[in-house]
Structure 1
Amino acid sequence: MSTLNNTKTDQNISWRCKHTWRTASYNTLWCLLGCSIGDFGTIYFFQVTEYLNPIDHKWIILSLAIMNGLITSIILETYILSRQMILKEAFRVAIGMSLISMISMEVAMNIVDVIMTGGAMLTPEVILPMLIAGFITPLPYNYYRLKKYGKACH
């Protein structure tokens, strides 16, 4: 009989562990904070400066918002992790372990923005739904990674 690696198979993962959901939620909130700073900041910049029309150029603005959201999230996560490990390792972990989570979060937030406002605009009515979508979308993936690999971003 061959030896299997020490990771759990997908069939053995329980989706009912409250402790893991709490940990995954905590990690996702940190990621959401980092992503939303860059995302909202970019959208707001173009909204107030009118450098690009937020309706006509929504895809350009939202692409920049996603990139800036990823950058600010990586910076925040690197800072948090650097308190536990050396900076180079913290940066590597921040990029490697949470990039899929951050991208899905950013895309979900911006889809909600386009659906609700028709463009890349921040209004009081759109901020909470964007944050909720950004939180819920990557949460199962973050839970899965915690259960399968025992790995978290923070």
Structure 2
Amino acid sequence: MIWTEIGIWKRCLISTFICLIGCSIGVMGVMFYLVNYPWLVVLLLSFICGLITCLLFMIGWDMLFNKMNFIASFRMSYKMSIISLSIMILSENAAMRLIAPISSTDQMHMHSNHNLQIMAIAMVIGFLLSLPYNYYILQKNDQVCH
């Protein structure tokens, strides 16, 4: 395994960023709207919503830009990115929980600049932790899911 190929890193960065956008829509949305629920409920629902929004975002991306049909795009997106999504979603949830615990007085609301910064930090952590896996899969299979 060679970890220094610039071309693969460029493709991997773009692919992981696309995944991050779709994933974060679901994860952060659930975090904001279910702030008063138990953390385990929020984790489970944000995982499910993050997975759904990411898959829909990637399917839409493939259909729009790669001219793929829905079934082919769904199969490729699901098969190639479920582990990457899991890494990203779980790390975003953990970061949000550690940085701004739900039990704190500074609960997550969209109108707070502080909370938008927390969200950005969580997204960066999710991006960085899923990046090596995406690079490995890209180098191994020579294809990305979007």
2:12 aligned to which of 10, 24, 28: 24
C-alpha distance after superposition, 1:75-96 (max 9, x if no partner): 0111111232211111111111
Trace 1:98-137 onto structure 2 (pairs within 5 A). Answer: 98-119=81-102, 121-122=107-108, 123-137=115-129
Residue in structure 2 matched with residue 61 of structure 1 by the alignment:
42
Give ranges in structure 2 of 5+ residues lacking alignment.
109-114
Give ranges in structure 1 of 5+ residues lacking alignment.
1-12, 48-52
Inter-partner Cα distance in structure 1 for 2:90 and 2:68: 30
Residue in structure 2 matched with residue 149 of structure 1 by the alignment:
141
- Tell me the TM-score normalized by structure 2: 0.87
C-alpha distance after superposition, 1:17-65 (max 9, x if no partner): 1111111010000000000001111111123xxxxx24xx011112101
The alignment yields a C-alpha RMSD, in angstroms, of 1.4
Inter-partner Cα distance in structure 1 for 2:20 and 2:40: 21
Aligned length: 135
Larger radius of gyration between Structure 1 and Structure 2 = 1
Runs of 4+ with >4 A deviation: none
Q: Percent identity?
A: 29
- Tell me the TM-score normalized by structure 1: 0.82
Inter-partner Cα distance in structure 2 for 1:125 and 1:89: 37
- By how many angstroms is 1:125 displaced? 3.5
C-alpha distance after superposition, 1:116-143 (max 9, x if no partner): 1123853234112101111001101111
